[in-house]
Structure 1
Amino acid sequence: MKYLTGIMLALLISTASCGKNDNAPPAKVAPSNLTINAVVATDSSGTVSFSATAQNAVSYDFDFGNGKTKTVTNGTVKYTYSGSGEQNFTVKVTAKSADGLTVSQSTSVKVSISKLLVWSDEFTEDGAPDSNKWGYDIGTGDNGWGNNEAQYYTDRAQNVIVSDGTLKITAMKENYQGKSYTSARLLTRGKFEFTYGKVEVSAKLPSGVGVWPAIWMLGSSVNTIGWPACGEIDIMEHKGVEPQKLYSTLHYPNHSGGNGVGSTTNVSNMSNSFHKYTLDWTPTALKFYVDDQLFFTFNNTASLPFNDKFFILLNFAMGGNFGGSIDPAFNKSTFEVDYVRVYKN
């Protein structure tokens, strides 16, 4: 009996012990094996592409070594340093697990900036576009600045937002304020206006018959002397019915509307991948590039309006004089912009 009693007591103790361990909270998991890769762009723009990986990580905090930070979930981020000449930065990356535990690693990067960056938006802060840099045209443009388009421009998050490192302008089919579509039109008027320089925009274009995205500039005198006297520089225009054709055009007196002076070139996958659209603007010429390939040169003279201040616009129109008929099956598409940069020549 004593022997059996001892066995039973041992079993009770063992059972109680197992139950206690089963109720214990699981151990917290920390990230491990954090690695960082940094690729410096070869165009002397100061742009660095970072990628970080770690086991058990759900987010990565990047400290770029200049007081700027960015948090991403996929471990990849592109950042452009400002200034000129050679610069060295110590970049710290902190990986965080779902349990809130962290591990950090640092790396050094050297950038050489030969062009002076005077204005840019890298679209790194999620939410509405930076109000210090962008304003909006709201409405239909029927009062003078539209082209018989089918959309109503808003500043709603449904139509324009910054997320995951890019600006997203979305046109969607909906009945709104008497129009059948909504979208957005951003501009730097009154916030950033300039004369001469190099403008670079990385963008992925929307798709669908009837879409009309544009990267362009207007003379700041548009409200005083009107259009086309103020001048218009279309860095990139695209219509969905011609998915591989890029338009670059200039408008000025005697060359307005369909009589603008410009050129086109074919570009593959404009709606599936990012491409760089560039204007190099000087007192003697306006040169247009796509992915660093020159395809159009316009000779500038003192008698033309392309020697005064201009501002930048980004918009996504539907239909109109240029976009043409809209596919009835169109529902929604997005014009995505990675960055806008202006350099001093």
Structure 2
Amino acid sequence: MKYITGMMLALLISTASCGKNEKAPPAKTAPTNLTLHVVVNTDNSGAVAFTAAANNAVSYDYDFGNGINKTVANGITNYTYPGSGTYTVKVTAKSADGLTLSKSADVTVTIASGLVWSDDFNTDGAPDPAKWGYDIGTGDNGWGNAESQYYTDRSKNVSIANGILKITAMKENYSGSAYTSARILTRDKFAFTYGKVEVSAKLPAGGGTWPAIWMLGSNITTAGWPACGEIDIMEHKGNEPNKIYGTVHHPNHAGANADGGTVMVQNETTVFHKYTVDWSPALLRFYVDDQLFYTFPNSGNVPFNHDFFVILNFAMGGHFGGAIDPAFNSASLEIDYVRVYKN
């Protein structure tokens, strides 16, 4: 009995001793006293310098308020905004233990407007090959909408004379199609993110005509359509005289389900009108002759925050153009100029 009691006593003493030697896990360290200092460059370039500092921080995550993010170790970074606007910048300091502390600030930048690209079509002949390329063929190439034309690079379909670019659709049998026309584009030659595009144009008349001034996301080969985004600055149906369409296509809002608006314009086939989109991180605004007719809210959730290229074309029929007038023989989309400004 004494032996058993001694063993039990020793066990109790050992257990108590072990309990005293156990240590609680150390408390995790969080960042404290986070500050954010912002300096906007006064040259209206959109450049901004950011300096964040916090106790116990080992890295800083920046959200520049336009879908762009960056992580830096010392809290110091620079970013140049591509468009004017007010952005809510958020910086998150992170400690070695993974704890975080955040701070936000509104940053307003103004970028001076300036002409960054243009074509006034002042040289007779073919479009400038340094600025324009061609899509050749039919919609079977993957970019058609059941249209009836065959796109060529022939001078009878696309040419410049007396300061005017003419894209001409003609009724003729050509490579299995009943009509020919042209589609020119700045792909791989010029692309941009945010800005104002102005095009002075006189539109063709006739049932089934479908001229368009528009843009596609430069990442179309990797992202596909409509994930790349599409901005239709101007579309017109000869079957709906005087009605001008401004439209954006993006995932879940493409084709007949796209977002857009219309405006009625007189004499669109007999005089030149100015067709404009003003594209910023916040909005896409569509105008005819400086009259605003549609506004689309831009955000990081839609594909309108990367480079786009410009397209000019004249289609016949298709899902949008509709029935072609049997009496149609030829007509031209006439372009006086294309100008791109940075905001």
Task: State the TM-score bracket (shorter-chain normalisation).
Answer: 0.5 to 0.7
- In the aligned structure 1, how far is the partner of 2:141 from the partner of 2:169? 21
Return the letter of the residue paired with 1:333. Answer: A
Which of 222, 227, 230 aligns to 2:225? It is 227
- Please state whether the residue corresponding to 1:295 is helix, strand or coil: strand
Which of 292, 310, 315 aligns to 2:313? It is 315
* Residue 218 of structure 1: aligned partner: 216
- In the aligned structure 2, how far is the partner of 1:203 from the partner of 1:341? 12
Structure number with larger C-alpha Rg: 2
- Please state whether the residue corresponding to 1:206 is helix, strand or coil: coil
- In the aligned structure 1, how far is the partner of 2:254 from the partner of 2:281? 21
Q: Residues 96-115 of structure 1: matches in 2 within 5 Å?
A: 115=113
* Residue 330 of structure 1: aligned partner: 328
* Residue 93 of structure 1: aligned partner: none
* Residue 181 of structure 2: aligned partner: 183
Q: Return the offset for 1:141.
A: 2.1
Q: Do structure 1's residue 118 and structure 2's residue 116 form an aligned pair?
A: yes
Superposed CA deviations along residues 190-222 of structure 1, whole A, max 9, x for unmatched, are 000000000000000000000000000000011
* Residue 104 of structure 1: aligned partner: none
Superposition RMSD on alpha carbons, in Å?
A: 0.7
* Residue 107 of structure 2: aligned partner: none
Which of 142, 146, 149 aligns to 2:147? It is 149
* Residue 164 of structure 1: aligned partner: 162
Q: Do structure 1's residue 260 and structure 2's residue 264 form an aligned pair?
A: no
Q: Do structure 1's residue 140 and structure 2's residue 138 form an aligned pair?
A: yes
Equivalenced residue count is: 232
- In the aligned structure 2, how far is the partner of 1:128 from the partner of 1:170? 13
Which of 267, 272, 282 aligns to 2:270? It is 272
Which of 205, 209, 214 aligns to 1:207? It is 205
- In the aligned structure 2, how far is the partner of 1:307 from the partner of 1:225? 14
Return the letter of the residue paired with 1:273. Answer: V
* Residue 107 of structure 1: aligned partner: none
Q: Return the offset for 1:143.
A: 2.5
- Please state whether the residue corresponding to 1:283 is helix, strand or coil: coil
- Please state whether the residue corresponding to 2:319 is helix, strand or coil: helix
Q: Return the offset for 1:169.
A: 0.3
- In the aligned structure 1, how far is the partner of 2:141 from the partner of 2:156? 24
Q: Return the offset for 1:302.
A: 1.0
Q: Residues 280-295 of structure 1: matches in 2 within 5 Å?
A: 280-295=278-293
- Please state whether the residue corresponding to 2:121 is helix, strand or coil: coil
Superposed CA deviations along residues 271-308 of structure 1, whole A, max 9, x for unmatched, are 00000000000000000000011111110001110001
Q: Do structure 1's residue 340 and structure 2's residue 307 form an aligned pair?
A: no
Return the letter of the residue paired with 1:141. Answer: G
Q: Return the offset for 1:225.
A: 1.1
- In the aligned structure 2, how far is the partner of 1:304 from the partner of 1:266? 28
Which of 297, 300, 304 aligns to 2:298? It is 300
- Please state whether the residue corresponding to 1:142 is helix, strand or coil: helix
Return the letter of the residue paired with 2:268. Answer: M
Deviating above 2 A after TM superposition, structure 1's stretches of 4 or more consecutive aligned residues are none
Percent identity, aligned pairs only? 70
Q: Return the offset for 1:131.
A: 0.2
Return the letter of the residue paired with 2:266. Answer: S
Q: Return the offset for 1:339.
A: 0.1
Q: Residues 239-258 of structure 1: matches in 2 within 5 Å?
A: 239-258=237-256
Q: Return the offset for 1:115.
A: 3.3
Unaligned runs of 5+ in 2: 1-111
Return the letter of the residue paired with 1:167. Answer: L
- In the aligned structure 2, how far is the partner of 1:157 from the partner of 1:171? 12
- In the aligned structure 1, how far is the partner of 2:257 from the partner of 2:139? 21
* Residue 100 of structure 2: aligned partner: none
- In the aligned structure 2, how far is the partner of 1:334 from the partner of 1:144? 24
Q: Return the offset for 1:144.
A: 1.1
User: What is the TM-score with the length of structure 2 in the denominator?
Assistant: 0.67
